[in-house]
Structure 1
Amino acid sequence: MVGRKRSIERRKNKRYKAVEGAYAAISPNSNKIGQIIDISMGGLCFKYINTENNSEAPVNRNEESIFLSSMGYYVGDLPFQTIADYEIKDAPSFSSMKVRRRHVKFTDLSFKQLFDLDYYMKNNVSEQLKPIPNQTKS
């Protein structure tokens, strides 16, 4: 295991695997909607199809909030900050559109937004994800 870097879990909140049918959409004026992969009280990760014509990172046009939805549950207008957005290279693609993964951190949530997010999570997660184990250099 030569050259392996130490990986430290920096998340403050426990992450949970989202149930099938849980979606996130960025608004306003964005075409980014996709399936939630995992979620916590601090943020989420979702995959979406990049409908822009280039392979570069998509332009973040006036992205202000994110909306969460699933069967019977909805949380709207959550302010966020994008932490990472990258193309998934190993995803099967049947067209020229590329699948991307975006990690976001929720910012400045009000008490009501925290309450709504907590309720959404209680009804839309399947299992807690295990933290990344620390890896040591050899």
Structure 2
Amino acid sequence: MPVRPNALERLALFRLDRAPPAMLDLLGAGSFRALALAHDLGVFDALAEPHTPAALADRIDADPAALGDLLGALAANGYVERDGEAFVRTASTARWLTDDGEANLAPWFVFWRDVVFPFWDAQRRRSGRAARR
């Protein structure tokens, strides 16, 4: 979910230049990567029902500890929420980032990560050719 600075944070970031506004870009980039990875793994579809990290890891064939870290990042960004020891997707995530929602926008994040962003690397800017992966 987008970071929404409160009035004091907006004042410090943008009016008084007391904090680096680029931090919002850093937070957004982390959120972007977490969302694309969650889509790749099938996290949002699997979390129609609450699952602990271990149960979810079994269901989607992932490492429980690494998945726990991803779930923590997704929770911090508002894509999932805790339900005791378990996690469940938020209503907004169900609506906009799953196949059974109103519109699944998650594939666009994967598209940008895999297709668009590689064309923005420094090597391409210098040579005119995309880096080999």
Q: Normalised by the shorter chain, which TM-score bucket?
A: under 0.3
Q: Which protein shows a greater Rg?
A: 2
More strand by share: 1
Length-normalised TM-score, structure 1: 0.21
More helix by share: 2
**Greater relative contact order: 1 or 2 (C-alpha under 8 angstroms, separation 6 or more)?**
1
Length-normalised TM-score, structure 2: 0.22
